[in-house]
A = this chain, B = another copy of it.
Amino acid sequence: MMKMHIPHDTPSHDARQDARPFSQILDRLRGAGLRPTRQRMALAKLLFEGGDRHLTAEMLHADAQSANVRVSLATVYNTLHQFHRAGLLREIVVDSQRTYFDTNMSDHHHFYFDQSGELADIPGDQVEVAALPAAPDGMEVSRVDVVVRVRPQGA
């Protein structure tokens, strides 16, 4: 049971750093109520086995291509949104015109490099938002985003 058509690598009985990498991802998908299809497994591997990442749909699609994983761009978009709804990814809005997803789900904020369009995490404990005002009547706060925009010195 469990023989996937993903390019020959990481035979699960041999993996050293991470015991049973496939089933971890499998469990994550199952837990989220998502059928572990070939494409979702492959994208999940790309997303979650590369440490903390900030990427757009196009970036992940390119990643998949170079990893010899055949997925349509439409599926990449679908998958990113599903993972987001399932709480596996965070959506970051810093740039109208492209949507970033963040694999780091812990409480944290971001640096945004305006010229390059890149993002970097700021650990949660390095930013403190004191004194938030009360939410307007009948509303509740769903999230507080802090974006620290930076540029090269003297620009």
Instruction: Give the B-binding residues of A (Cβ under 8 A).
Output: 93-99, 111, 113-114, 120, 122-123, 126-133, 135-136, 138-155
Contacts and interface: CB of A to CB of B under 8 A. Distances in A.
B141 A153 contact: no
Contacts of A95: 93, 96
Shortest 8 CB-CB contacts between residues of A and residues of B: A139-B150, A128-B130, A126-B133, A128-B131, A96-B99, A143-B149, A145-B147, A142-B149
Number of copies: 2
Given A129-B130, A140-B153, 10 more contacts: A111-B136, A127-B132, A129-B129, A139-B151, A139-B152, A140-B154, A140-B155, A141-B148, A143-B149, A145-B146
Contacts of A133: 122-123, 126-127, 148
B127 A139 contact: no
A120 B136 contact: yes
A147 to B, nearest CB: 5
Nearest to A148: B144
A99 B98 CA distance: 12
